[in-house]
Each structure stands twice: as structure tokens, then as C-alpha cells.
């Protein structure tokens, strides 16, 4: 495995982890600000 491929895979993994951590809180905050309750829970 070459370095560009390794770094690319690592970047994708970190990006997915960041989305998994950040998105739920962001969506919940948006729903609260708009006066809705977050109906979608995973």
C-alpha cells in the first residue's frame, strides 16, 4: 500500500468519524432552535 492511498483511506475514516460525532448534536440543536423535537433517533 502506498502512502497516498493510506493517507486517503485514513482521511476518509477520520471524516466519517467526525461526521458521526458532530452531526447528531448539530441536527438536535437545529431542531430545538426551530421549535421541533428531533424525531429521528439512531
Structural domain count of the chain: 1
- What CA–CA distance (Å, rounded) separates 13 from 19? 10
| Structural domain span for residue 36 | 1-42
pLDDT of residue 27: 80
Considering 4-8, 22-26, 38-42, the range whose residues carry the highest mean pLDDT is: 4-8
Residue 26 confidence (pLDDT): 82
10 Å CB burial of residue 28 (0-12, 13-18, 19+) is middle
pLDDT tens, residue by residue, 13-37: 999 998 888 888 888 887 777 766 5
Q: How many residues does the chain have?
A: 42
Amino acid at each position: 500500500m502506498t502512502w497516498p492511498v493510506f493517507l486517503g483511506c485514513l482521511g476518509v475514516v477520520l471524516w466519517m468519524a467526525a461526521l458521526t460525532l458532530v452531526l447528531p448534536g448539530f441536527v438536535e440543536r437545529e431542531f430545538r432552535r426551530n421549535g421541533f423535537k428531533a424525531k429521528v433517533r439512531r
